[in-house]
Amino acid sequence: MTSLAPGSGPTDLQAESAPPSLPETVLDEAQRGETHADGHAAHPDLRLFGLATFLVADGMTFAGFFAAYLTFRAVNPLPEGSSYELELLLPTINTVLLVLSSVTFHRAGSNLRDGNGSGCRSWLLGTGVLGAAFLAGQMVEYFNLPFGLTDNLFASTFYALTGFHGLHVTLGVICILIVWAQARPGGRINQQDHFGLEAAELYWHFVDGIWVVLYGILYLL
């Protein structure tokens, strides 16, 4: 028995209950648990799990923005002469581009997993181009809008939402370029080690999904 705790006298309860060391059986099991030196699959790589959790958090930021926008819209009338109408053609093209880019990214991933590195890089490049085209489209839209950031509540919310999403797309395009560079022959990303690509892909699908919701409530509603 180890020395007893100050302030707690020895009791029969204690004597029965507090083993100074672990019982043998428990240690046996413990040893079995630690000796799994097997490969890849035995060690769950938690980085994607962590990223997914982060994206849940990021999604909540958007959810907050969406809730604010919908409430504003429901209860705060716009001043005379302003309306919620937006030009639809460009954003719709943009939506198509972004959804398409999710498909191309997916192709890039499956190519890499099949061992086709150059195919993967081409699809990645295509994805990056689609993302950049989306951003360009967004810029064109910004410059042709009849309202500025502080014109009214709808204008402010519009820029806040699309701007915050646009930041995400920009970051995504940068990530795609990095992954593209790393997927070159002899680079960090290859058929065996493709965390970077999978992380970028997960993020990109997330950004696309957010856009679809955003498009629905901001442009169509």
Partner 1 sequence: MTLASPSDFEPQGLQPQGWLKYLSFSLDHKVIGLQYLVTGFVFYLIGGALAGVIRTELASPISDFVSRETYNEVLTLHGTVMIFLWIVPVVNGAFGNYLIPFYVGARDMAFPRLNAVAFWLIPPAGILLISSYFIAGGAAQSGWTAYPPLSLTTPALGQVIWILSVLLLGGSSIFGGINFIATIWKLRRPGLKMMQLPMYCWAMLGTSILVVLSTPVLAGTLILLSFDIIAHTGFFNPALGGNVVVYQHLFWFYSHPAVYIMVLPAFGLVSEILPIHARKPLFGYTTMVYSILGIVVLGLIVWAHHMFTSGTPPWMRLFFTIATSFIAVPTGIKFFNWLATLWGGKLALNSAMLFSCAFIVNFVFGGITGVALAQVPFDIHVHDTYFVVGHFHYIVYGGTVFIIFASVYHWYPKFTGRMLNEDLGRLHFLLTFIGFNLCFAPQHWLGLNGMPRRVAEYDPAFTTLNQVSSIGALLMAISTLPFLINVVWSAFRGEVAGDNPWNALTPEWLTTSPPPVENWPGEAPLVTHPYGYGIPEGQLDLKVTTGRELWTGGRR
- We find the least distance from the C-beta atom of residue 201 to partner 1, in angstroms, to be 19
> What value does the CA radius of gyration of the chain take, rounded to a whole number of Å?
27
Q: Which is nearer to partner 1, 24 or 89 (CB)?
A: 24
Angle between helices 153-182 and 117-144 (to 10 degrees): 160
Cβ contact 44:52 at 8 Å: no
**Contacting residues toward partner 1, per CB under 8 A:** 2-9, 11, 13-14, 16-23, 26-27, 29-34, 36, 43-47, 49-50, 53-54, 56-65, 67-68, 71-72, 75-76, 78-79, 149-150, 152-153, 156-157, 160, 164
Nearest to 203 by CA among 161, 162, 174: 174
Q: Which is nearer to partner 1, 60 or 139 (CB)?
A: 60
Tokens of 201: 């892909």
Q: Which is nearer to partner 1, 134 or 158 (CB)?
A: 158
Nearest to 130 by CA among 107, 163, 161, 158: 107
- We find the least distance from the C-beta atom of residue 80 to partner 1, in angstroms, to be 11
Residue 10 vs residues 6, 20, 215: alpha-carbon distances, Å: 10, 14, 70
- We find the least distance from the C-beta atom of residue 13 to partner 1, in angstroms, to be 5
Q: Which is nearer to partner 1, 82 or 182 (CB)?
A: 82
Q: Which is nearer to partner 1, 78 or 135 (CB)?
A: 78
Checking 81-87 for CB contacts under 8 A at 24+ apart, the result is 82/147, 82/151, 82/152, 82/154, 82/155, 84/154, 84/221, 86/145, 86/158, 86/218, 86/219, 87/141, 87/144
| Amino acid of residue 196 | G
- We find the least distance from the C-beta atom of residue 35 to partner 1, in angstroms, to be 8
- We find the least distance from the C-beta atom of residue 111 to partner 1, in angstroms, to be 27
Q: Which is nearer to partner 1, 54 or 212 (CB)?
A: 54
- We find the least distance from the C-beta atom of residue 196 to partner 1, in angstroms, to be 16
